[in-house]
Amino acid sequence: MERMPAGGPATVERPSGRLAGGEWNRHPVRPDGSRIPTGHPDRASSTTSERDDVVQQYLDLMQKILDEGTDRGDRTGTGTRSIFGHQMRFDLAAGFPLVTTKKLHLKSIIHELLWFLAGDTNIGYLNRHGVKIWDDWADEHGELGPVYGAQWRSWPAPTPEDGGRTIDQIATVLRMIRETPESRRLIVSAWNPALVDAMALPPCHALFQFYVAEGRLSCQLYQRSADVFLGVPFNIASYALLTMMVAQVTGLKPGHFVHTFGDAHLYANHFAQAREQLTREPRPLPTMTLNPAVTDLFAFTYEDFTLSGYDPHPHIKAPIAV
């Protein structure tokens, strides 16, 4: 069992922001040989095949891009092969969807999510915890401009007459989940057209929506641009974890995480790494446990998360396109 390192109150730091297994089976099939789709009633939600399919969906996306994608130029000059429009669905009851065909740095995923939720846009907190994933975009002072955290927690009100008021989208959506769970407006957007040019990197995972049914909370993410080899495994785990956290503090159970893509791409200098990963068989998913004592979304710390049963294949190194 891997437990987040313990630390007393004097050592726990929250981000400071604007706001103080069985045999592997590639796809389960019916007796006639036809594939049973994910989520179909004929398919148990937490069987070994279902757990395997969580990672297999990701591998299938990489294979589809390699086989069917279009070679295109891109902002970084690296070159990509991409497809447009794709969706994956993960039943969070099947296990925590942390990719097992290569080792992921969970510490970075958790700290980045806590940093977003704090409304922070400076890499100082991340660096103090050994997280470097935003370093290439920060200025000399560690600032990134009004990126994710700023939009989630302090979206500027629309007119000057509002006197500098901001909108806390996360607090708002929590209130709505509790008060009007049937609402179709349980949405948080990081894409603010008025401020995109001021951001060091415009949001790739641009908008997410919650859905409550039968006591379970599901989340759908729309990701306009997806670095499938490096970024997407992080995004899956991050939004799955966010869904679990929001479910806990609103008295619900985690449902599904639905991941919808616009431009899903592999960078040209990731093709070999993707092919290497495709030779690996998925392993059983780990389990993520949250500290049940936490009832305030903004009170979670790194020590409140416990991952068990994670046995991934070795890490595969790949360059990042800036």
> Do the domain assignments include residue 316?
no
DSSP 225-267: EEETTTHHHHHHHHHHHHHHHHHHHTT-EEEEEEEEEEEEEEE
**Torsion sign across C-alpha atoms 124, 129, 132, 134:** negative
Question: 242 is written with which tokens?
Answer: 């966010």
Termini Cα distance of the chain: 35
pLDDT at 162 (0 to 100): 65
- Contacts (Cβ under 8 Å, ≥6 apart) of 42: 30, 36
Strands 253-267 and 216-227: parallel
Question: 304 is written with which tokens?
Answer: 């409140």
Please give the Cα distance from 156 to 74 (Å, whole number).
Answer: 31
Q: Which residue has the tokens 């995109």?
A: 196
DSSP 210-228: EEEETTEEEEEEEEEEEET
Residue 219 bears catalytic tag: no
Question: 242: domain CATH number?
Answer: 3.30.572.10
- Contacts (Cβ under 8 Å, ≥6 apart) of 76: 267, 321, 322
pLDDT at 158 (0 to 100): 78
> Do the domain assignments include residue 29?
no
**Plot region of 204 (φ>0 → left; ψ -120 to 50 → alpha; else → beta):** alpha
pLDDT at 7 (0 to 100): 41
Tell me which residues of the chain have a pLDDT lower than 50. 2-3, 5-12, 18-47
Binding-site residues: 75, 105, 184-185, 224-227, 235, 265-267, 321
pLDDT at 9 (0 to 100): 37
> Do the domain assignments include residue 319?
no
- Catalytic position from the list 88, 123, 199, 204: 204
pLDDT at 53 (0 to 100): 87
Q: Which domain holds residue 191?
A: 54-308
> Do the domain assignments include residue 49?
no
Domain count, the chain: 1
Tell me, yes or no, if the pTM score tops 0.75: yes
- The type of residue at 122 is N
> Do the domain assignments include residue 18?
no
Binding-site residues for dUMP: 75, 184-185, 224-227, 235, 265-267
pLDDT at 27 (0 to 100): 46
> Do the domain assignments include residue 17?
no
pLDDT in tens, 198-251: 999 999 999 999 999 999 999 999 999 999 999 999 999 999 999 999 999 999
CB 51 within 8 A of CB 94: yes
DSSP letter at 197 equals G
> Do the domain assignments include residue 313?
no
> Do the domain assignments include residue 321?
no
CB 307 within 8 A of CB 109: no
